Amino acid sequence: MFNLFKYSSPATFYPLAGRLAVGFGIASAILLVIGLYMSFFVAPTDYKQGEGYRIMFIHVPAAWMSMLIYVVMACWAAAGMIWHTRLSSMMASSLAPTGAMFTFIALWTGALWGKPMWGAWWVWDARLTSELILLFLYVGFMALESAIDDPRRAARASGLLALVGVINVPIIYYSVQWWNTLHQGSSIKVVDGGVETSMSEIMVWTLLVMTFACWFYTIAVALCRVRSIILERESGASWVKALLQERK
């Protein structure tokens, strides 16, 4: 039987993460080139917003990733609390900076999109405000973790924050349905088990390619980061010393 817990040991996960990171990094780069080409040259001009709408091909994947990464991060935090596996909290902390980056990109490109289309860089509606809270949650998670010296206590405190903050994710997602917002509703949504979209098909494909590029980028970067964290935390372990001997 394939034993998942075998890979929850940092010593076995470290070389695996290295190989996976390379694969996901290459896949991400290829998809990004295709996705950007489609965003600028293949996707048609919009009937209402002209060329300006193209910013959504980075805005929407970034916003999706900001929410998804947070949920994954909270799951790792929960796993770490339940099973007390060392690797889980390392995975959680390796995702946080990328999540914060995508949240910032979503907010920033949103402002750049909002000014020409709505007429304002920023409004305090439910969607924008809850996404800003998400950025604060990421920053808070990272700050709390780095403020506590003992890694196990740091993981518990920041993990609790990650878990509490996960409530914000459905609020972001459904904010445009639950309340009046200036932000438009979702163009792609799941209705009664089927997917409905109010975009032309090629736009949806472009969005998907860009989303997978961001997804693979996140996996690659998180794996690289978790390798550094493993080396840092396990620096006293014999396998790390053996690894260093090998490199010399």
Partner 1 sequence: MKSRHKRMVFIVVGLAALAGAVGLIMNALQSNINHFFSPTEVHANAAPTDRSFRLGGLVEVDSVQREDDGLTVHFRVTDNAETVPVTYTGILPDLFREGEGVVAQGKITSDGVFMADEVLAKHDETYMPPEVAEALEKAELAKAEAANGATAVEPAAVQPAAQPQEGI
User: Which CB sits closer to partner 1, 27 or 46?
Assistant: 46
Is residue 193 at the binding interface for partner 1, with CB under 8 A as the rule? Answer: no
User: Which CB sits closer to partner 1, 24 or 70?
Assistant: 70
Q: In whole angstroms, what is the distance from residue 94 CA to residue 29 CA?
A: 20
- Provide CB contacts within 8 A for 197, sequence distance 6+: 187, 188, 189, 204
User: By the 8 A CB rule, do 184 and 3 touch?
Assistant: no
- Tell me which residues in 69-108 interact with partner 1 (CB under 8 A): 78, 81-84
Q: In whole angstroms, what is the distance from residue 34 CA to residue 236 CA?
A: 44
Is residue 125 at the binding interface for partner 1, with CB under 8 A as the rule? Answer: yes
User: Which CB sits closer to partner 1, 209 or 221?
Assistant: 209
Is residue 199 at the binding interface for partner 1, with CB under 8 A as the rule? Answer: yes
* Long-range pairs, 112-116, Cβ under 8 A, ≥24: 112/55, 113/52, 113/53, 113/55, 113/56, 113/59, 116/52
Is residue 111 at the binding interface for partner 1, with CB under 8 A as the rule? Answer: no
Work out the angle between the directed axes of helices 151-165 and 86-117 (0-180°, nearest 10).
40
Is residue 180 at the binding interface for partner 1, with CB under 8 A as the rule? Answer: yes
Q: Which stretch binds partner 1 (CB under 8 A): 26-34, 64-72, 87-95, 122-130?
A: 122-130
User: By the 8 A CB rule, do 69 and 225 touch?
Assistant: no
Residue from 33, 158, 36 nearest 95 by CA: 158
User: Which CB sits closer to partner 1, 119 or 236?
Assistant: 119
Q: Which stretch binds partner 1 (CB under 8 A): 29-37, 95-103, 192-200, 224-232?
A: 192-200
User: Which CB sits closer to partner 1, 139 or 163?
Assistant: 163
Is residue 47 at the binding interface for partner 1, with CB under 8 A as the rule? Answer: yes
Number of residues that bind partner 1 (CB under 8 A): 41
- Provide CB contacts within 8 A for 48, sequence distance 6+: none
Contacts with partner 1 by CB under 8 A lie at 44-49, 53, 56, 78, 81-84, 116-120, 123-126, 163-164, 166-167, 171, 178-182, 184-187, 198-201, 203
